[in-house]
């Protein structure tokens, strides 16, 4: 079926993407192409070894390394790293890691306009978006501006091989959520829809192979391809219930980011499927299951993803408060969100039940 729409608007960020196992070794060449010579390398403390490898690859092109990136991009850390970048006279940042490290690179770019080269090591997809989430005083705020859009992304399958199996699955489902919600976005285009469906197919095909053989470079490469496509969808179109609910749960109950996405995805999609069955039917087709919600639930079970909020730290008594918070600030969703429906959704997600059709 063609993805044609009678009317649409689409714009794509100007971003150079280079793909290939071992492609991080071309990072010096990439800096040269961009006319850059002084990189501040960013990573989490856990990935200091990978940052060190990048520093060695860059030699004199690396002016320093900052390995203090943490989850949710706290403003205090961004300010500290920005000061270091300015003091070292960096002319770019190289972020090597998942969404937390990419977020730090974006936060520095927001403050300095330094170009960013990102080497993603998870499937979260932040490298493909002009979106930055930051936290200050316990509050997370999100801004969208071309200023934080990375300029160069190097997708190196060798670097995702070290992602532990559990995180591989939750990070993949996090990426798939961008694609699934992209299918009903009000500002979707034929291009975003094509990318979303191809991204979902890539994960359907490659994730089970990665779980069988986590070091399979071809399968890892295919999942990274899925991550790029799904991340690009996130960068191009608006998200709805699934992403807002995960944001609420993560922020209010301190639930782990990728695990929360994994649990909520089938339920949010099933909830919206009642309103836009045609737009979500391609997911059911891709997985060969009757409904999109059920397809995503079965895929989560088959890949041994967490399927219950109660298993990732949420208390049953928090369900009502979560429903209250999530309905307090209204936002667009293809199906109106009422408290009772949301409570039912959260109750099923808390217990790990399959979403009801």
Task: Check binding of 210 to ligand NAD (CB under 6 A).
Answer: no
Report the residue number, 67 or 272, with the smaller CB distance to ligand NAD.
Answer: 67
Using the rule CB under 6 A, give the single segment among 40-48, 108-116, 281-289, 310-318 that binds ligand NAD: 40-48
Helices 241-253 & 257-273, crossing angle to 10 degrees?
140
The minimum distance between CB 100 and ligand NAD, in angstroms, equals 3
Beta strands in the chain (DSSP E): 16-19, 39-42, 62-66, 92-97, 116-120, 131-136, 139-144, 152-155
Task: Check binding of 192 to ligand NAD (CB under 6 A).
Answer: no
The minimum distance between CB 238 and ligand NAD, in angstroms, equals 13
Q: Which of 65, 82, 116, 129: binder of ligand NAD (CB under 6 A)?
A: 129
Task: Check binding of 71 to ligand NAD (CB under 6 A).
Answer: yes
Q: Which of 31, 95, 258, 307: binder of ligand NAD (CB under 6 A)?
A: 258
Q: Please state, in angstroms and rounded to a whole number, the distance separating the CA atoms of residues 297 and 326.
A: 22
Ordered DSSP codes for 179-191: HHHHTT-TT--HH
Q: Please state, in angstroms and rounded to a whole number, the distance separating the CA atoms of residues 218 and 157.
A: 8
Task: Check binding of 223 to ligand NAD (CB under 6 A).
Answer: no
Q: Are 55 and 28 in contact (CB under 8 A)?
A: no
Q: Which of 67, 100, 189, 193: binder of ligand NAD (CB under 6 A)?
A: 100
The minimum distance between CB 45 and ligand NAD, in angstroms, equals 8
Q: Which of 16, 77, 18, 90 minimizes the C-alpha distance to 43?
A: 77
Task: Check binding of 99 to ligand NAD (CB under 6 A).
Answer: yes
Q: Which of 65, 101, 192, 232: binder of ligand NAD (CB under 6 A)?
A: 101
Q: Please state, in angstroms and rounded to a whole number, the distance separating the CA atoms of residues 305 and 262.
A: 7
Unique residue bearing structure tokens 């890892």:
220
Helix (H) / strand (E) containing 21: none
Using the rule CB under 6 A, give the single segment among 13-21, 116-124, 149-157, 212-220 that binds ligand NAD: 116-124
Report the residue number, 232 or 291, with the smaller CB distance to ligand NAD.
Answer: 232
Task: Check binding of 260 to ligand NAD (CB under 6 A).
Answer: no
């Amino acid at each position: 079926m063609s993805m044609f729409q009678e009317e649409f608007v689409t714009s794509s960020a100007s971003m150079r993407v280079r793909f290939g196992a071992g492609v991080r070794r071309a990072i010096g060449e990439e800096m040269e192409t961009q006319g850059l010579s002084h990189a501040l390398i960013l990573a989490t403390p856990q990935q200091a070894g990978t940052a060190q490898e990048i520093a060695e690859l860059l030699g004199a092109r690396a002016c320093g390394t900052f390995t203090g990136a943490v989850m949710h991009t706290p403003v205090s850390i961004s300010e500290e790293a920005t000061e270091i970048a300015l003091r070292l006279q960096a002319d770019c940042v190289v972020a090597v890691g998942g969404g937390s490290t990419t977020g730090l690179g974006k936060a520095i770019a927001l403050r300095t306009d330094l170009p960013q080269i990102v080497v993603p090591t998870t499937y979260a997809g932040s490298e493909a978006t002009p979106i930055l989430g930051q936290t200050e005083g316990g509050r997370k705020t999100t801004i969208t501006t071309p200023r934080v859009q990375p300029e160069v992304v190097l997708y190196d399958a060798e670097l995702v091989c070290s992602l532990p199996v559990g995180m591989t699955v939750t990070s993949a489902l996090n990426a798939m959520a961008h694609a699934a919600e992209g299918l009903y976005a009000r500002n979707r285009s034929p291009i975003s829809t094509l990318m979303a469906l191809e991204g979902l197919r890539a994960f359907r095909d490659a994730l089970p192979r990665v779980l069988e053989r986590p070091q399979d470079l071809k399968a890892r490469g295919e999942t990274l391809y899925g991550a790029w496509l799904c991340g690009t969808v996130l960068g191009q179109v608006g998200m709805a219930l699934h992403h807002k609910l995960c944001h609420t749960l993560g922020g209010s109950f301190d639930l782990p980011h990728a695990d929360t996405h994994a649990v909520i995805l089938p339920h949010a999609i099933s909830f919206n499927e009642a309103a836009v069955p045609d737009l979500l039917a391609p997911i059911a087709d891709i997985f060969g299951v009757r409904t999109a919600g059920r397809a995503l639930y079965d895929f989560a079970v088959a890949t041994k993803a967490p399927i219950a909020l109660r298993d990732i730290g949420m208390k049953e008594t928090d369900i009502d408060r979560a429903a209250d918070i999530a309905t307090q600030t209204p936002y667009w969703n293809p199906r109106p969100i009422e408290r009772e429906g949301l409570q039912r959704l959260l109750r099923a997600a808390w217990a790990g039940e399959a979403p009801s059709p």
